A and B are shown apart, each in its own frame.
Chain A
């Protein structure tokens, strides 16, 4: 079983929809949680970064961490065709810089 599980999709939604992307993990020592967005044939770009549990909002994006359930989510409001990309979750323990990535979920937002 992988340390981090992520549904590969593809997830196809109409423009304007609310998108929910999720990852589950097994290592209770994870403290830092990140979401990366990766456009086709590009490098991953950091989208959201959270420490421990709770919510963080940035524009149309909200990251949520539930450590009791070992579950993290990324919500995208008013989704746009430009949001079409692969979204990768990543996490790490305190006192290490080793990131463990999910396999990524491919999102398609159609006009």
Chain B
């Protein structure tokens, strides 16, 4: 257990609505990551954070924004959800080894 919780665990929303997903960690990690997982694509990095108020884009950042106002919380926002953002979203934090990452339980998002 990497001390990561994600909320909500499931969400169904409509196209055009804003959605915010939350990742909470209890181990004071400086780095946090957001991924999406889709069939045929595996896990792809959306955004990551390297400290409070310090964030950067990943491979598939278009349509997403993030915020980190506290060490323990990393928020992912879809400003105007589209059907192509239907996916499973995972948050991750570093492990002990170089480049190790541990993942949260995921949020299953459906955009109708």
Contact = CB atoms under 8 A, between A and B. Distances in A.
Given A43-B104, A46-B100, A97-B31, A103 B41 contact: yes
Contact of B42 (A46, A96, A104): A104
Contacts of A44: 43, 90, 103
Contacts of B42: 4, 6, 88, 101-104
B105 A43 contact: yes
Interface stretch (B14-22, B78-86, B91-99): B91-99
A88 B101 CA distance: 13
Contact of A92 (B43, B95, B99): B99
Interface string A73-104: 00000000000000010101010111101111
A46 to B, nearest CB: 6
A61 interface: no
A34 interface: yes
Contact of B95 (A46, A102, A103, A104): A46
Nearest to B50: A97
Nearest to A8: B40
B96 to A, nearest CB: 9
Contacts of B44: 101
A92 B33 CA distance: 15
A34 B101 CA distance: 10
Contact of A43 (B31, B95, B103): B103
Nearest to B105: A43
Contacts of A88: 42-43
Interface of A: 4, 6, 8, 32, 34, 36, 41-46, 49, 51, 88, 90, 92, 94, 96-99, 101-104
